[in-house]
Chain A
Amino acid sequence: MLRYVIRRLLLIIPTMFFVALITFTLAHATPGSPFDRNENKPLPQATIDRLNRYYGVDQPIPVQFVTYIGNLLRGDLGLSFTKGRPVADIIGQGIGTSAQLGVQALLLALAFSIPLGIISALKQNTAADYVSLMFATVGTTIPSFVIAIFLIYIFGVTLRFFPITGWGTWQNEVMPTVVLALGPGAFLTRITRASMLEAIKQDYVRTARGKGLSERVVVVGHVLKNALIPIATIIGPATAALITGSFVIESLFNVPGVGRLFVISIEQRDYPTIMSTTMLYAFLIMIANITVDILYGVLDPRIKVA
């Protein structure tokens, strides 16, 4: 088990290298300098040259890449083109907020969607089931920023329950957290319902009932224990959904996190910041995927992780 985890963790290194290579190539594939594209206020050529030299973008691309990787290994993420400050500092400032938002949203999603999926499966084809199916469909289909708009309109603009932008107080945090939780939560509801329905029709459930166990013990001890296995897989996609959701939600609610930082740096073509945030996200996804595989081994005795 430990050896498996170590091997998986070591495999992150080559994958991160390729992620860096691809992002770097894409970032530098566009011709010209990152500083000569402001059509409204073109900079004088001398300034551009100086900036190019300062940020090292006058070097050939392979050289830049080697330099970048070398700096990366020393923990240096480079300087932001637009802010002139180390990228590590900028990300460091936002990462706490983003992590808090992400964890809150994930916990919220787990807290309402697993019970909802279970109820939906146990009360198949009742009103409760239809409501949760509807929620699951709407939540997985409609993008979070569109749902956010309706929620802002109802709770922010019309009812004035919550402020519509900002971060810091609990009132500020309610709407972004809820909206960010909706997408993964809806997906999780769907998966929970499906895997409960699949597990509940298995022969061993009849065996459990045949032993005289109460319905609660049958559902919790026998059905849910099996249904949790497919539910665990969702941690990978859920992390991805939380990350991509955070771009839009943080921008929409003006939350000072990494997601908003990423969107701003995309607009401003701030390559060092884009590179670093992308690699951070890829790293998180890989960790999430490894967690899924380990959880699989824990939940399902038939799978030997070695």
Chain B
Amino acid sequence: MAQQLLEVTDLHTQFFTRDGVVRAVDGVTFEVAAGETLGIVGESGCGKSVTALSLMRLIPVPPGKIVKGSIMFDGADVLKMDDDEVRGIRGNNIAMIFQDPMTSLNPVLTISRQISEALELHLKMDKSEARKRTIELLDLVGIPSAKKRVDDYPHQFSGGMRQRVMIAMALSCNPKLILADEPTTALDVTIQAQILDLLKNLAREFRTAFILITHDLGVVAGMTQRIHVMYGGKIVEKADTAELFANPKMPYTWGLLRSIPRLDERRKAKLVPIEGLPPDLIAPPPGCRFEPRCQYRREICREKEPELEHIPNSKPDHEARCWGTQQGGWLVDTDWHKEVGDTRVIEEIKQEVAQLPPEPKPGDVPPPPTAI
């Protein structure tokens, strides 16, 4: 196997709050090869963004802290670097595209200033070189009349254009790895497709490795080579993209797939939400993290946590964290398209949620999230 660009091993990131320790990332291991694209998928609050921020050591300390693990990037452990060394990597070797382009650009600085800054710092360009390069970059990400707009302020750009600026900023120093954290979530649907196209083309053109973080399986489908599904601070399923869509092996992934609309499905197929509440990361369930919401659960799921293991009847690099689908499990032969599991369990989960103390003013506070 080729030398990996990024190797994350047993990463634990925690937040120390008044209510207790939030185990936002709880033992995550994965790797990305140079030029590879990886998707990390999961509901909000499952630890995806914290994983990404941990890679660049951008977790706010306190309350956050990376308590365990290693992040080998290009042969060096990011977690063992001093602050100067980390800053030498940020924006230079690893760049990040943030979720909300409306708030992620500094409102009082011109676009030119915000992109040139990194060029001057990492590539030691002088002001006029940096400005020239900035215009090229803006051209590259499809900003019309870049030369004229380079001295504009962020508020003079639309949301989609600002995200293009963010992408230009991320590409500016030719990083080896770009982390894109929900890059299209804050945008209109039509703009989303354009931005995704742009990202896809640029990744190919620059041979940059990409980690695309999203809650939307639909977004990663055409974008990434491999997909990791996260739930409750852990990776619960790893597979290459085609395999994951064709042959998912974890009931949570099934739930995610059932809840996205598909054009090629037969008409009868309904969108099925995942019942129940996402896990409390201060006091996570002792067994499988997904057990409280799983329609296929059995006693063992509550008692003991399954390991991330290779699953029979799947490609060699396909792993999942599930007692049911592992060797000898009761879900090995289950066709998730047809069998929805035990409907009585679904009712049970609904009842448990209903038994929780009522909200103060119904309608004022949104009901507990039941779907993705």
Contact = CB atoms under 8 A, between A and B. Distances in A.
Q: Are any A and B Cβ atoms less than 8 Å apart in their complex?
A: yes
B108 A210 contact: no
Interface string B161-185: 0000010010000000000000000
Given A207-B98, A212-B89, A212-B118, A302 B58 contact: no
Interface stretch (B99-107, B255-263, B320-328, B345-353): B99-107
Nearest to A205: B106
A254 to B, nearest CB: 46
A159 to B, nearest CB: 42
* 9 shortest interchain CB distances as A-B pairs: A212-B90, A211-B91, A212-B91, A203-B103, A204-B106, A301-B153, A211-B118, A212-B87, A203-B104
B81 interface: no
Contact of B88 (A212, A215, A299): A212
Which of B58, B96, B104 counts the most A-chain CB atoms under 10 A from its CB?
A: B104
A222 interface: yes
A210 B56 contact: yes
B108 A226 contact: yes
B106 A226 contact: yes
A206 B90 CA distance: 11
Which of B105, B106, B118 counts the most A-chain CB atoms under 10 A from its CB?
A: B106
Query: What is the interface of chain A mostly: helix, strand, loop, or mixed?
Result: helix
Contacts of B92: 212
Interface of B: 56, 58, 83, 87-92, 95-96, 98, 100, 103-109, 117-118, 121-122, 153, 155, 166, 169
A212 B106 contact: no
Given A203-B98, A204-B103, A207-B169, 16 more contacts: A206-B58, A209-B58, A210-B91, A210-B96, A210-B98, A213-B87, A217-B117, A221-B109, A222-B106, A225-B106, A226-B108, A299-B108, A301-B107, A302-B107, A302-B153, A302-B155
Given A211-B169, A212-B121, A301-B155, A222 B87 contact: no
Nearest to B110: A301
Given A225-B108, A301-B108, A211 B103 contact: no
Contacts, number: 75
A220 to B, nearest CB: 12
B105 A207 contact: yes
Contacts of A209: 58, 90
Contacts of A211: 90-91, 95, 117-118, 121, 169
A203 B100 contact: yes
A202 B103 contact: yes
A233 B333 CA distance: 69
A242 to B, nearest CB: 28
A217 B91 CA distance: 15
A210 B90 contact: yes
Contacts of A299: 108
Interface in A177-216: 202-204, 206-215
